[in-house]
Amino acid sequence: MGPANEHQSVIVTLAAGTLGYCDLQYVMTHALTKESDVYSFGVVLFEVLCGRLCCTYSNGRVEQNLVRKWIGSYEEKKLNDIIFKDTAILPLEQSTLEIFSDIAYRCLKESREDRPKMAEVVAELEKSLDLLNYQEFIGEWNKQCPLNYRSNVEPMKFQSKGILLNGGKTWFWLNKKGEHCEMISIAECLGSDVPSSRFSSKYNSRFAVGTYGWYGHERLKTHVRSQFLSPGITYTVNLVFKFEYPKDEPTIFLGHILQGQRESSISYLAYRREDGRWACELYQFTTDHRTVHLQILFKGYHLYGVIQLEGMEFQPLENVENIDEKKLLSDSDSDANWEEKLPVDYEDIRKRSKNSLQLKTKEDAYSIICKGFLISGFQPLENVSLQIKV
């Protein structure tokens, strides 16, 4: 045992190692290094690939060590002879198999200097997982898409309407630019800690489980995992819901605090879509992976009544619909001179808002200032925290 993240490896002379997993260099030198761990992990990766342990046993003794055979099969390009096969499991796509097997093989290099660092191993495994997730999406699309849609052009039209993936837990579609969009069912985000009686199927949800009735004072913990995002795209994270009672005003006072920040922010505005759903933006980020994990803790909202939560949405920033300016501005204020009426110090006024009022556009600022907002003495809700790992 030695400290982690040290440049120099420790030397252990009386360590014990399980046969098959033990670094051959350690057997000869009795010196354990970080590269010894990399070797052992490479053996485990091959076990996952082949669906069996690295050694066979007879009468409590090792009968055969398969590691040498696995290495030879890789070098002779005969992986198909050793990988695990099952008719119920979709075979690995070739590029996914190549990435996974290559990093596993490099972990087993005889020379410690030739073995990769664990950071590189993790990066390659994540790349392999991204391709695997995308393969799952293609498989689901092929099952659901009619044969007459399967051309170079028509799939885009079909996908733009949206399809259910991930066992019906993820709604996936493409925007006009071909960028990936996702919405994760609120049931998947909440997990099994919430009562099933709170879900309703009468609000026309995309998901079979329906929507979740949320009261303003209630605390909710969510864990959101996307799988099919487009790398290099700036996404908005939206809470998608319906009002249990009809509502025309876009103000909801939904708060959140980003990890590392001390003061909470309040998302004041929601916008209604053509399908009758509402969305409230929580966060923006740029991703370099298809898979993103979010942990969001909600502690309530300042609004009378119950809202029906449908899911957490990831949508490219360019594709997010703007709030209808005609609905935000009253008839008397929607003239062409509204910008001249906007106070020059509206940014200073915004900063004086105790809850850090967030405004997307000048039109939003003008509308909110006309209606009025509280500068001090307003405590709408407790802290809402958001943790993100990209």
Lowest model confidence (mean pLDDT) among 35-49, 137-151, 333-347:
137-151
Mean of pLDDT over the chain: 76
Q: Is residue 147 part of a domain?
A: no
> What is the secondary structure of 175-239 as a DSSP string?
-TT--EEEEEEHHHHHTTSS-GGGEESTT--SSTT-EEEEETT--EEEEEEE--PPTT-EEEEEE
- Please give the pLDDT value at position 202: 87
Average confidence (pLDDT) over 152-158 = 45
- Please give the pLDDT value at position 185: 95
Q: Is residue 194 part of a domain?
A: yes
Q: Is residue 148 part of a domain?
A: no
User: 57 with 179, same domain?
Assistant: no
315, β-bridge pairs: 236
CATH number at residue 65: 1.10.510.10
Q: Is residue 6 part of a domain?
A: no
Q: What is the pLDDT of residues 235-263, one digit of tens each?
A: 999 999 998 877 666 677 776 665 555 66
User: 125 with 177, same domain?
Assistant: no
User: 159 with 68, same domain?
Assistant: no
The residues, ordered by sequence, that sit 6+ positions from 354 with a Cβ below 8 Å of its Cβ are 374, 375, 376, 377, 378
Average confidence (pLDDT) over 190-211 = 88
Q: Is residue 364 part of a domain?
A: no
Tell me the residue type at 114: D
* Nearest partner of 364 among 335, 338, 331, judged by Cα: 338
User: 122 with 166, same domain?
Assistant: no
Lowest model confidence (mean pLDDT) among 138-152, 306-320, 322-336:
322-336
Q: What is the pLDDT of residues 344-378, one digit of tens each?
A: 666 666 665 545 555 556 776 776 667 666 554 43
Q: Is residue 84 part of a domain?
A: yes
Task: Indicate the SS3 state at residue 50.
Answer: helix
Q: What percent of the chain has pLDDT over 70?
A: 65
pLDDT over 90 at 313, yes or no: yes
User: 52 with 80, same domain?
Assistant: yes
- Please give the pLDDT value at position 316: 93
User: 190 with 276, same domain?
Assistant: yes
Average confidence (pLDDT) over 250-279 = 72
- Structure tokens given for 179: 């960028």
The residues, ordered by sequence, that sit 6+ positions from 339 with a Cβ below 8 Å of its Cβ are 362, 366
Average confidence (pLDDT) over 186-198 = 88
Identify the residue with better confidence: 9 or 86.
86
- Please give the pLDDT value at position 142: 63
User: 118 with 166, same domain?
Assistant: no
User: 109 with 242, same domain?
Assistant: no
Lowest model confidence (mean pLDDT) among 15-24, 37-46, 192-201, 314-323:
314-323
Neighbour tally for 154: CB within 10 Å: 13
User: 130 with 187, same domain?
Assistant: no
- Please give the pLDDT value at position 188: 93
Indicate the helix (H) or strand (E) that contains 154.
helix 154-161
Q: Is residue 370 part of a domain?
A: no
Lowest model confidence (mean pLDDT) among 69-83, 125-139, 220-234, 362-376:
362-376
| Single residue among 108, 136, 164 that ends a domain in this structure | 136
Identify the residue with better confidence: 265 or 129.
129
Confidence of residue 87 (pLDDT cuts 50, 70, 90): confident
- Please give the pLDDT value at position 381: 38
pLDDT over 60 at 333, yes or no: no
Q: Is residue 13 part of a domain?
A: no
User: 120 with 172, same domain?
Assistant: no
- Please give the pLDDT value at position 162: 79
Confidence of residue 14 (pLDDT cuts 50, 70, 90): low
Q: What is the pLDDT of residues 26-56, one digit of tens each?
A: 777 777 788 889 999 999 999 999 999 998 8
User: 89 with 164, same domain?
Assistant: no
Does the reported pTM lie above 0.75? no
User: 50 with 176, same domain?
Assistant: no
- Please give the pLDDT value at position 13: 58
- Please give the pLDDT value at position 308: 92
Domain limits at 110?
24-136
- Please give the pLDDT value at position 300: 74
Q: What domain count does the chain have?
A: 2
Average confidence (pLDDT) over 195-199 = 88
CATH number at residue 176: 2.60.120
